[in-house]
C-alpha cells in the first residue's frame, strides 16, 4: 500500500482555515499537510481547541479551506459547487458523529437504509442486502424495528457506524465517536471500527482520549492548528498510553 | 423520495402537543369555511328554487310593449311566434311555461289590504307550480276556474282569509283605468321564502281581463333547462336568436322585471322590445348578497389563515432550531438542500391536510345534525333573506375540496421560509454538537 498518489484517499496541502470572530480572526488551522492512504486507521489527536474538528470538517467537505488544497478521492473540493460537495459526501464519505444524530422518527433499519435512499444507483434488493449485512455486523439484528430513542448510547453509535458504512465510502470520518459513551462501550465501538477497517474501510477519527489513540495504527498529532507529528514510525507516546490504560 | 414524506408525517406525531394545537386551529378554520359554504350553497339552492317556482324560469323572455312613449306594459305581443324562435334556439331547453305579468297592485280583504305582485297562471299547464308548491288548503284544480286566487299562508293570515273567502284585486290598465276584480281564494299554499310574501297568483284569464291584455299576448316565457348551470349560455343564445329573427332587444341587466318599468317608460321608443334574463337577474340584489356572503367568508378565512400561518411559522422555526443537529447530520451524509426544504414543507402540508379534512368532516356532521333538526325561522325579514322558513345547509363536495386545498396550500406556503432556514443549516453543525 501507499505506492503513488493513486491510493491516497485524502490529500491536504498547506491548508489553512480562518474564522472571523468579532473584529479579530481565529486561525484555527495554520498550514496543514496530511496524506491518508486507502485502508488506514488513523487518529487525529490533540488538545481541545487544537483544530481537530476543523480539519475533519474540511476533509468532510462540510467546510471550505481559506487557503491550500483539499483533495478527496482525487477531486479538488475547492472547485466543487455546493450540490457537488453534497454528492461527494453522499457517495465518497461516511460520517459518525459524537452525538450519533440518528433520525428519531425512523427505526433502526430505516436509519441505516437512509443514505442509500438518497442515491439513485442502488436498487431495492441491493439496499436490503447491504442493510441486513451491516446491521448483523454491528450486532443489532434483534433491534431492527426499534427507534433510536429505544436504544442505548452504544447501540445508537453502532447504528451510526452501520449508516456510515452502508454506502461503502472511501473514508469514514468520526469526530470523537466515543466521547459520549462510557469507557467499556467506547472500547467495543472502537473494536467494531477496527474490525471494519480490517475488512477494508478507511477511517479517520479525532480524539483526545489516550485509550482511543492506543487503538490506532497511526496517530497524527495536531497542536495549535499545526501538525506536530505525522504519526509515521515509532509511536512511543501511543504505546505508553496503551500501557497506561491496561 | 417517499422516505422523506414518511419522516415529515411521523414528525407531526412526534410533537403531539404542538401539532394538536396547530391542527385544532386549522380544523377550526376549515370548519368555519365549510359551514359557511354549506349555508350559502343552501341559500343558493332555495333562492333558485323559489325564484324558479314563483317568478322566473332558468331563463326568461319577457319584455315591454309601449303604445305611447310614457306607458309600458309587460307584454310579449303574439307570443306564439317568439316561443317558436326560442324553442329552436338551444337543445338545453326542456320546456317553456307562459305567464301573465301584472304590476304591483292592491289586494284587499275585509280586514286589510296589501301591495302585491300579481301574476296570471295557466294552472292546468304550469307543471313547475304544481310540482313545487305545497297546497295547505284548497286545490290546484279549483284554480282552473276564472275569478279565483292562490295566496300564500302568511298573506292569508294577514288578510284574514280562508279558502272560499273573497279578495278584491285592483289593476291599472295601459289606458290608465283602475279595474277591480273579485276573486275567491281557491287555494292557500305554504310560504316559499321572501318572494312568496309579495306574490298573488290568479288564473291567466282573470289577469288578462283585469289589465285588458289580449289573449295572443303574454307576460313572460319562462324557459326551463336540463341544468341551471346552462342559464347564462342559453340566455345568450336565445338573445341572439331573437335579435336575428328581427326583434328589438333590451340590454341584459341584473334586475327583476318590475324594477325596469321606470327606465323603460322614460326611454323614447314605442312598440315592442324583448328582454332576456336569467333567474339570477330576476333575483337582483339578493343574488349579489349571496355572492358577497361567500366573499366575506373567504376573506375572513384568509384572515384566520394568516393568524394560523404565523403560528405555523413559529412552530416550524422552533422545530428547525430543535432539529438543527439532526438536519446538519442529514446534510452531512448527503441529503440535498432541496430535500430538507421538501421535508419541512411536507410536514406543514400533511398537518394542514389532515387537520382541514377533520374540520371538514366535523362541519359535515354539524350540518347533517342541523338539517335533521330543521331549525325554524319565524322572522319574516330573515325568512325573506333565507328564502326559506328554516335554516338549511348543503355540503357541496367540490367546494369542500377547494377549501381543503386552499388551506393546505396556504399552510405549505407559510412553511416555505422555515423550510428555507432548515435547508441552510450547515452540515458542520452536526459535527461539533454535543448532546
Ligand atoms: N465556527 C467557528 N467560528 C469561530 N471560531 C471557531 C469556529 N470553529 C472553531 N473555531 C475555533 O477554532 C479553533 C479550533 O477549533 P476546533 O473545534 O477545530 O478544535 P478541536 O480540536 O476540535 O477542539 P475540541 O477538542 O474541543 O473539540 C478553536 O479556537 C475554536 O474556538
Ligand atoms: Mg472538536
ipTM of the complex: 0.87
Q: What is the pLDDT of residues A140-159, one digit of tens each?
A: 999 999 999 999 999 999 99
Q: How far apart are CA B188 and CA B142, in angstroms?
A: 11
pLDDT in tens, chain B (435 residues): 789 999 999 999 988 888 999 999 999 999 998 998 898 888 888 878 888 888 899 999 999 999 888 888 899 999 999 999 999 999 999 999 999 998 888 899 999 989 888 999 998 888 888 888 999 999 989 999 999 999 999 899 999 999 999 999 998 888 888 899 999 999 999 988 778 888 899 999 999 999 899 989 999 999 999 988 899 999 999 999 999 999 999 999 988 888 888 889 899 999 999 999 999 898 888 778 778 888 888 888 889 888 888 988 998 899 999 999 999 999 999 999 999 999 999 999 999 999 999 999 999 999 999 989 888 877 777 777 676 777 888 898 998 999 899 899 989 999 999 999 999 998 887 766 443
Which of A123, A64, A62 lies closest to A93 in space, CA to CA? A62
Which of A156, A168, A170, A174 lies closest to A216 in space, CA to CA? A174
pLDDT at residue B9, rounded to an integer: 93
Task: Please give the angle made by the CA atoms of A119, A125 and A128, to the nearest 5 degrees.
Answer: 80
Distance from Cα A205 to the centre of ligand 2, integer Å: 11
Burial-class residue B374 by CB neighbours within 10 Å (0-12, 13-18, 19+).
exposed
A126 by DSSP, 3-state: which? helix
B96 by DSSP, 3-state: which? strand
Helices (H), B133-284: 153-159, 204-211, 231-244, 261-266, 279-283
Neighboring chain A residues of B328 at a CB cutoff of 8 Å? 101
Which of A208, A106, A93 lies closest to A159 in space, CA to CA? A106
Q: How far apart are CA B404 and CA A49, in angstroms?
A: 53
**Which amino acid residue places its CA nearest to atom 1 of ligand 1?**
A19
pLDDT at residue B324, rounded to an integer: 92
Q: What are phi and psi of B281, to 5 degrees?
A: -60, -45
Q: How far apart are CA A138 and CA A143, in angstroms?
A: 11
Contact B71, B174 (CB under 8 A): yes
Q: Residue A103: which pLDDT band, with cuts at 50, 70 and 90?
A: very high
A21 C-beta closer than 6 A to ligand 1: yes
A-side interface with B, Cβ within 8 Å? 53, 56-57, 60, 62-63, 82-83, 86-87, 89-91, 94-95, 97-99, 101-106, 110, 113-115, 117-118, 163-164, 167, 175, 179-180
Which helix (H) or strand (E) covers residue A207, if one does?
A: strand A203-207
Burial-class residue B186 by CB neighbours within 10 Å (0-12, 13-18, 19+).
buried
Give whole-number Cα distances, B105 to B115, B129, B189, B320, in Å. Answer: 5, 22, 20, 72
Distance from Cα A219 to the centre of ligand 1, integer Å: 20
**Which amino acid residue places its CA nearest to atom 18 of ligand 1?**
A51
B147 by DSSP, 3-state: which? coil
Q: Residue A241: which pLDDT band, with cuts at 50, 70 and 90?
A: very low
- Which ligand is located closest to the Cα atom of residue A208? 1
pLDDT at residue B98, rounded to an integer: 93
Q: What is the pLDDT of residues A118-146, one digit of tens each?
A: 998 999 999 999 999 999 989 999 999 99
Give whole-number Cα distances, B259 to B104, B117, B282, in Å. Answer: 11, 12, 10
Contact B278, B75 (CB under 8 A): no
Strands B148-152 and B178-189: parallel
Q: Residue A218: which pLDDT band, with cuts at 50, 70 and 90?
A: very high
pLDDT at residue A233, rounded to an integer: 62
Supply B326's cell numbers. 439532526
Q: How far is A54 from chain B (nearest CA, A)?
A: 9
Which of A64, A46, A57 lies closest to A93 in space, CA to CA? A57
Which of A70, A13, A3, A69 lies closest to A38 in space, CA to CA? A3
pLDDT at residue B356, rounded to an integer: 95
Nearest residue on chain B to A205, judged by CA atoms? B431
Q: How far apart are CA B84 and CA B247, in angstroms?
A: 13
Residue matched to cell numbers 481565529: A26
Contact B49, B196 (CB under 8 A): no
Neighboring chain A residues of B426 at a CB cutoff of 8 Å? 62-63
Burial-class residue B338 by CB neighbours within 10 Å (0-12, 13-18, 19+).
exposed
Neighboring chain B residues of A81 at a CB cutoff of 8 Å? none
Which of B198, B191, B174, B155 lies closest to B55 in space, CA to CA? B198
Contact A97 B427 (CB under 8 A): no
Distance from Cα A173 to the centre of ligand 2, integer Å: 12
Contact A68, A13 (CB under 8 A): yes
Using CB atoms and an 8 Å cut-off, which of residues 305-344 of chain B contact chain A?
325-326, 328-337, 339
Neighboring chain B residues of A118 at a CB cutoff of 8 Å? 1, 333-336, 339
Taking the CA of residue A208 as reference, the ligand 1 atom at the shortest distance is 25
Stretch A51-80: mean pLDDT, rounded?
Answer: 93
Q: What is the torsion angle, in degrees rounded to the nearest 10, for the CA atoms of residue B377, residue B380, residue B385 and residue B389?
A: 40
Q: How far apart are CA B146 and CA B205, in angstroms?
A: 6
Task: Please give the angle made by the CA atoms of B258, B260 and B264, to the nearest 5 degrees.
Answer: 130
Contact A27, A225 (CB under 8 A): yes
- Which ligand is located closest to the Cα atom of residue A55? 1
pLDDT at residue B256, rounded to an integer: 87
Q: Is the pLDDT higher at B40 or at A4?
A: B40
Contact B279, B232 (CB under 8 A): no
Amino acid at each position: 500500500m501507499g505506492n503513488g498518489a493513486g491510493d491516497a484517499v485524502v490529500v491536504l496541502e498547506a491548508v489553512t482555515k480562518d474564522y472571523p470572530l468579532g473584529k479579530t480572526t481565529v486561525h484555527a488551522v495554520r498550514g496543514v499537510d496530511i496524506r491518508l492512504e486507502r485502508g488506514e486507521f488513523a487518529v487525529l489527536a490533540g488538545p481541545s481547541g487544537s483544530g481537530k474538528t476543523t480539519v475533519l470538517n474540511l476533509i468532510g467537505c462540510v467546510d471550505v479551506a481559506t487557503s491550500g488544497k483539499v483533495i478527496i478521492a482525487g477531486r479538488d473540493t475547492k472547485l466543487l459547487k455546493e450540490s457537488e460537495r453534497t454528492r461527494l459526501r453522499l457517495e465518497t464519505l461516511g460520517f459518525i458523529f459524537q452525538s450519533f444524530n440518528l433520525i428519531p422518527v425512523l427505526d433502526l433499519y430505516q436509519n441505516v437504509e437512509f443514505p442509500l435512499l438518497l442515491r439513485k444507483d442502488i436498487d431495492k434488493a441491493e439496499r436490503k442486502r447491504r442493510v441486513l449485512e451491516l446491521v448483523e455486523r454491528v450486532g443489532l439484528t434483534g433491534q431492527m424495528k426499534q427507534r433510536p430513542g429505544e436504544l442505548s448510547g452504544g447501540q445508537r453509535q453502532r447504528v451510526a457506524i452501520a449508516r456510515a458504512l452502508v454506502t461503502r465510502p472511501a473514508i469514514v470520518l468520526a469526530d470523537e465517536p466515543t466521547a459520549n459513551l462510557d469507557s467499556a462501550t467506547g472500547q467495543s465501538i472502537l473494536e467494531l471500527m477496527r474490525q471494519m477497517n480490517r475488512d477494508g474501510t478507511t477511517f479517520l477519527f479525532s480524539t483526545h482520549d489516550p485509550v482511543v489513540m492506543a487503538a490506532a495504527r497511526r496517530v497524527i498529532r495536531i497542536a495549535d492548528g499545526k501538525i506536530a507529528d505525522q504519526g509515521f514510525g515509532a509511536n512511543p507516546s501511543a504505546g505508553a498510553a496503551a500501557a497506561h490504560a491496561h | 423520495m417517499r422516505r422523506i414524506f414518511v419522516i415529515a408525517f411521523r414528525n407531526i406525531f412526534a410533537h403531539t402537543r404542538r401539532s394538536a394545537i396547530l391542527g385544532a386551529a386549522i380544523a377550526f378554520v376549515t370548519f368555519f369555511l365549510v359551514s359557511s359554504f354549506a349555508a350559502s350553497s343552501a341559500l343558493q339552492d332555495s333562492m333558485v328554487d323559489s325564484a324558479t317556482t314563483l317568478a322566473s324560469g332558468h331563463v326568461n323572455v319577457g319584455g315591454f310593449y309601449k303604445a305611447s312613449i310614457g306607458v309600458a306594459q309587460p307584454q310579449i305581443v303574439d307570443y306564439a311566434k317568439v316561443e317558436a324562435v326560442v324553442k329552436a334556439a338551444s337543445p338545453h331547453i326542456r320546456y317553456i311555461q307562459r305567464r301573465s305579468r301584472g304590476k304591483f297592485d292592491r289586494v284587499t280583504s275585509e280586514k286589510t289590504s296589501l301591495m302585491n305582485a300579481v301574476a296570471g297562471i295557466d294552472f292546468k299547464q304550469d307543471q313547475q307550480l304544481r310540482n313545487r308548491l305545497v297546497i295547505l288548503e284548497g286545490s290546484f284544480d279549483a284554480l282552473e276556474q276564472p275569478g279565483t286566487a292562490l295566496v300564500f299562508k302568511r298573506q292569508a293570515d294577514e288578510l284574514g282569509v280562508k279558502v272560499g273567502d273573497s279578495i278584491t284585486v285592483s289593476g291599472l290598465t295601459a289606458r290608465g283605468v283602475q279595474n277591480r276584480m273579485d276573486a275567491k281564494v281557491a287555494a292557500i299554499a305554504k310560504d316559499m321564502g321572501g318572494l312568496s310574501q309579495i306574490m298573488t297568483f290568479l288564473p291567466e284569464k282573470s289577469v288578462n281581463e283585469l289589465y285588458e291584455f289580449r289573449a295572443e299576448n303574454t307576460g313572460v316565457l319562462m324557459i326551463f333547462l336540463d341544468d341551471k348551470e346552462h342559464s347564462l349560455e342559453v340566455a345568450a343564445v336565445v338573445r341572439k336568436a331573437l335579435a336575428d329573427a328581427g326583434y328589438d332587444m333590451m340590454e341584459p341587466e341584473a334586475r327583476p322585471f318590475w324594477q325596469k318599468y321606470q327606465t323603460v317608460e322614460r326611454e323614447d321608443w314605442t312598440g315592442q322590445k324583448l328582454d332576456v334574463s336569467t333567474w339570477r337577474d330576476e333575483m337582483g340584489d339578493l343574488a349579489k348578497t349571496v355572492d358577497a356572503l361567500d366573499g366575506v367568508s373567504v376573506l375572513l378565512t384568509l384572515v384566520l389563515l394568516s393568524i394560523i400561518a404565523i403560528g405555523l411559522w413559529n412552530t416550524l422555526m422552533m422545530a428547525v432550531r430543535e432539529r438543527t443537529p439532526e438536519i446538519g447530520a442529514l446534510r452531512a451524509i448527503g441529503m440535498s438542500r432541496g430535500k430538507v426544504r421538501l421535508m419541512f414543507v411536507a410536514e406543514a402540508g400533511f398537518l394542514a391536510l389532515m387537520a382541514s379534512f377533520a374540520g371538514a368532516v366535523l362541519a359535515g356532521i354539524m350540518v347533517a345534525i342541523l338539517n335533521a333538526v330543521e331549525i325554524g325561522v319565524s322572522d319574516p325579514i330573515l325568512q325573506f333573506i333565507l328564502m326559506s322558513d328554516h335554516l338549511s345547509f348543503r355540503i357541496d363536495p367540490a367546494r369542500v375540496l377547494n377549501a381543503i386545498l386552499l388551506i393546505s396550500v396556504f399552510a405549505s406556503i407559510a412553511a416555505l421560509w422555515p423550510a428555507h432556514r432548515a435547508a441552510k443549516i450547515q452540515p458542520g453543525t452536526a459535527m461539533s454538537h454535543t448532546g
